[in-house]
Amino acid sequence: MELLLHACCGPCSMYPQKVLQSDNISYDMLWFNPNIHPEYEWNRRLVNLRLAADHYGVKLHEEGVCMEDYWKSKTYLEEFSSRCLMCYDMRMDMTAKYAKENGYSAFSTTLLVSPYQQHEAIIESCRKKAEKYGIEFYYYDFREGFREGQNMARDIGLYRQKYCGCIFSLDESDFKEKILKSMT
């Protein structure tokens, strides 16, 4: 199997990469997270993902930009019942499409490591995209290693964020002031 692993950030990639490496699965990673705002944070997470990719000696494809205006417009709510469903759909659509067009036989995502994400909704989105593009979705419940992955990230000095990624999740974070201060 030639797998394309969508990665939302460096810390969340650590445990899934460990699993793939120990199972001898050949994979590259894809950065596609236009949901992350502001741009400072988008860049910070990308830089950290590059470190995580380098740590394992894995190729990282980088796609997309920071789409803050689109998110603020909330036009996506005409199609999706929540921002998170749109967020999963947008990222999994790109991942499955990119995997298919670039010769991979399967795709997956590091979103499956987080106990804070809507695990079943992510699976559903991935299954839909697998069918749409005619490519396998590789499922693994990486949540078993969430803490281990976070500890691995800390051990190699990765930045570990305190909010999910979008401007709304930043607004809702108990650490908002601290986070904004870290961006100045």
Footprint of ligand SF4 on this chain (CB under 6 A)? 35, 83-84, 87, 164-166, 168-169
CB 112 within 8 A of CB 143: yes
**β partners of residue 29:** 5, 60
Dihedral sign for Cα atoms in the order 55, 125, 62, 12: negative
DSSP code of residue 39:
H
Nearest-approach distance from CB 48 to ligand SF4, in angstroms: 16
Nearest-approach distance from CB 86 to ligand SF4, in angstroms: 7
Closer Cβ to ligand SF4, 58 or 166, answer by number: 166
Nearest-approach distance from CB 1 to ligand SF4, in angstroms: 27
Nearest-approach distance from CB 103 to ligand SF4, in angstroms: 28
CB 66 within 8 A of CB 34: yes
Closer Cβ to ligand SF4, 50 or 83, answer by number: 83
Query: CA 91, CA 69: separation in Å to the nearest integer?
Result: 17
Cα→Cα distances 90→15, 17, 145, 174, 183, Å: 23, 23, 25, 27, 26
Nearest Cα to Cα of residue 147 among 115, 169, 117, 175: 115
Closer Cβ to ligand SF4, 139 or 168, answer by number: 168
Query: CA 103, CA 3: separation in Å to the nearest integer?
Result: 9
Nearest-approach distance from CB 87 to ligand SF4, in angstroms: 3
Closer Cβ to ligand SF4, 17 or 117, answer by number: 117
Closer Cβ to ligand SF4, 58 or 85, answer by number: 85
